[in-house]
Amino acid sequence: MILLDVPGITNLRDVGGIPAGASRIREGVLFRSGNLAHVGPDAHSFLTERVARVVDLRDDTEASAEPCALPGLRIDRIPLFAGSVASFLLGDVSLAGLYRHIVEDGADRIVRVVRILSAGEPTLVHCTLGKDRTGVSVALALAAVGADREAIVEDYALTASQLPESRNRAIAKWLEERLPIAHDAIAVATQSPAPVMRDLLKGIDEQHGSAADYLLASGLTRAELEALGTSLVG
């Protein structure tokens, strides 16, 4: 993967270069990031020159609080949670539990994301931080086309180092003041441990056979799965 330094876009990278069998994930096809609510001239230039489509995984409350206006780009809103992000933090769910919820209850929406990626246009997938919803969606798309498992996990784990420390401190303070007994909430909001993603993908393999089988069982067609491979691998 390739870290990209574009002012106004946090946690931005191109997942191109990840090994996939004897090939690699194409560069310039799948980007991931935090939200795009604060794009300036540099970020706007990057988006209009290198991205054709944006997938926004945030819930309605998040999108309303920090709207993204990006003229010239097609933006697909696909809220990946049935509820809001706040509801999960207040429920003190673990990261593993959060990701199981995404995979089990959001399968149809993950398929919608993957279907867009299968079209082959340069696409940027984002949520608020580019960590959880983005991390799960991108990991499943990469796993479905045979990307190296440890490279997928490494790409996911990279996020924690890309989050602004000032933001993490503010989140931790907010949670400690409002939810002092919520032991897992700070981890959910700030961390991306490799074992969590490794275990999630292993669990999908055990339950469904593979990430590709999970997507097929959730509504993706075989033609779309083949198109995903053509789009991402080369």
127 flagged as catalytic: yes
Q: Which two tokens stand for residue 203?
A: 């669990």
What 3-state class would DSSP assign to 20?
Answer: strand
Tokens representing residue 77 in the block = 């809103």
- Hey, which residues does 111 pair with through a beta bridge? none
Candidates 1, 39, 127, 220; catalytic one: 127
Q: Are 25 and 147 in contact (CB under 8 A)?
A: yes
Measured between alpha carbons, how far is 136 from 130 in angstroms, rounded to an integer?
10
Contacts of 47 (CB under 8 A, 6+ apart): 36, 39, 54, 70, 73, 124
- The b-or-e profile of 16-35 (16+ CB within 10 A means b, else e) is bebebeeebbbbebbbbbbb
Tell me what percent of the chain is helix, strand and coil, each rounded to the nearest 5.
50, 10, 35
Query: What residues are paired with 32 via a beta bridge?
Result: 13, 125
Are the C-beta atoms of residues 89 and 175 closer than 8 Å to each other?
yes
- Write the DSSP assignment of 36-51 as a string of letters: -TT--HHHHHHHHHH-
Return the active site residues: 127
